[in-house]
């Protein structure tokens, strides 16, 4: 069994979306309910963080620098500097209505940003299955032209910062791959980019699907079940290694699981927290697996480490994340 080490013990409320940035030799991640983005290189130096004014579901690298972040009301380009709050430029407004937020997301191998949405009220998720999984791309990324550009009612894009970025929203939403979801999660792409994985981590669903994916067009075929049920817990965030195996965090299962491309369980690594949330490969050799976790409401099992980040070296390397291309 791989040795699991405590990597950061800041006790996030809901840590998610770990992301390795090779240029800066550090990991980024978010605290969704804490409305913060964090950065740390794993050294003795303290982690840096930036405060936002709304929940941040996930992040991705951005071509040319900075990050892309899926906030509650839209997807933004962020510039993280010395100030406590980042400079923000709207790329595309959220298409979901009030009461929903973005959750898991990442870029495909060509730099299109895929992201899921869900109801922000845990008690409303089951009775209001309003989540959807869709992709955002710059018009130049859409082979057949922009499918759905965002315009505000006044006809122009909204801008949060005058110091950086385009003056109008630049992203285009494609029609949703899947609607009526509860908690979209587990997004990952095969090494060649020809497979798209995703899950619904709601306890009543708890499945992982896979789609054949056309990297040239960004079109996904009909999903088919990849994992009907995990051996423990329910599926949360995921990553794919260079061998094409799918690593999935088993939330409520205190483990990270590795499945082969044919959907066979290959490895189970126990974790010191009940609710791991997402994993990502990184480090100079892409051989470190970083795992985020959440702090359960009302403490609960192993609460002293809940919300911490953990690292292990599983003996296989991951793939660099493709930046959002706009």
CA angle 78, 321, 172 (to 5 degrees): 55
**Residue 152 φ then ψ, to 5°:** -70, 165
Tell me, what's the pLDDT at 19?
98
Domain presence at residue 136: yes
pTM: 0.91
Does residue 40 sit within a domain? yes
325 occurs within a structural domain: no
Domain membership flag for residue 326: no
pLDDT at 25: 98
Q: How far is CA 87 from CA 12, 53, 60, 63, 247, in A?
A: 23, 12, 16, 16, 33
Say if residues 208 and 199 touch (Cβ distance below 8 Å).
Answer: yes
Counted domains in the chain? 1
CA Rg value for the chain: 18
Answer left, alpha or beta for residue 145, where phi above 0 means left and psi between -120 and 50 means alpha.
Answer: left
d(Cα 279, Cα 104) in Å, to the nearest integer? 12
* Domain presence at residue 318: no
3-class DSSP assignment, residue 141: helix
Closest CA to 114 of 103, 123, 105: 105
The answer to whether position 163 is within a domain reads: yes
Residues 64-96 as b or e (16 or more Cβ within 10 Å = b): eebbbbbbbbbbbbbbbeeeeebbbbbbbbbeb
What CATH number is associated with residue 78?
2.120.10.30
The verdict on residue 187 lying in a domain is yes
Residue 198 lies in a domain: yes
- pLDDT value at residue 150: 31
Tens place of pLDDT per residue across the chain (326 aa): 479 999 999 989 999 999 999 999 999 999 999 999 999 999 999 999 999 999 999 999 999 899 999 999 999 999 999 999 999 999 999 999 889 999 999 999 999 999 999 999 988 998 889 999 999 988 777 655 444 433 222 233 333 332 223 334 578 999 999 999 999 999 999 999 999 999 999 999 999 999 999 999 999 999 999 999 999 999 999 999 999 999 999 999 999 999 999 999 999 999 999 999 999 999 999 999 999 999 987 655 446 899 999 999 999 999 999 999 98
User: Cβ neighbours of residue 22 under 8 Å, at least 6 residues apart?
Assistant: 284, 320
3-state secondary structure of 140: helix
The residue range of the domain holding 172 is: 5-312
pLDDT at position 82: 92
């Amino acid at each position: 069994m791989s040795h699991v080490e405590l990597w950061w013990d800041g006790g996030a409320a809901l840590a998610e979306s770990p992301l390795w940035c090779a240029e800066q030799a550090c990991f980024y991640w978010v605290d969704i309910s804490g409305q913060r983005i964090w950065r740390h290189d794993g050294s003795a130096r303290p982690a840096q963080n930036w405060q936002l004014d709304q929940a941040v579901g996930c992040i991705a690298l951005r071509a040319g620098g900075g990050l892309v972040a899926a906030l509650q009301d839209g997807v933004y380009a962020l510039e993280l500097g010395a100030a406590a709050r980042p400079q923000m430029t709207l790329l595309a407004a959220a298409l979901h209505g009030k009461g929903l937020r973005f959750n898991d997301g990442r870029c495909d191998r060509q730099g299109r940003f895929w992201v899921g949405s869900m109801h922000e009220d845990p008690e409303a998720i089951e009775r209001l299955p309003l989540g959807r999984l869709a992709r955002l791309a710059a018009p130049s990324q859409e082979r057949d032209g922009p499918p759905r550009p965002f315009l505000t009612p006044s006809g122009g894009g909204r801008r949060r910062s005058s110091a950086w970025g385009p003056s109008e929203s630049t992203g285009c939403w494609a029609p949703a791959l899947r609607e009526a979801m509860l908690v979209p999660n587990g997004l990952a792409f095969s090494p060649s980019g020809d497979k798209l994985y995703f899950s619904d981590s709601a306890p009543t669903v708890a499945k992982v699907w896979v789609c054949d994916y056309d990297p040239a067009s960004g079109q996904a075929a009909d999903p088919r079940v990849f994992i009907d049920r995990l051996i423990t817990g329910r599926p949360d965030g995921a990553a794919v290694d260079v061998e094409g195996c799918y690593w999935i965090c088993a939330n409520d299962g205190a483990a990270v699981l590795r499945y082969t491309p044919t959907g066979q369980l290959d490895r189970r690594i126990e974790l010191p927290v009940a609710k791991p949330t997402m994993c990502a490969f990184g480090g100079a050799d892409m051989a470190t697996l970083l795992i985020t976790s959440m702090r359960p409401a009302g403490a609960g099992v192993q609460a002293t480490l809940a919300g911490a980040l953990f690292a292990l070296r599983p003996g296989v390397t991951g793939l660099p994340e493709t930046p959002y291309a706009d």
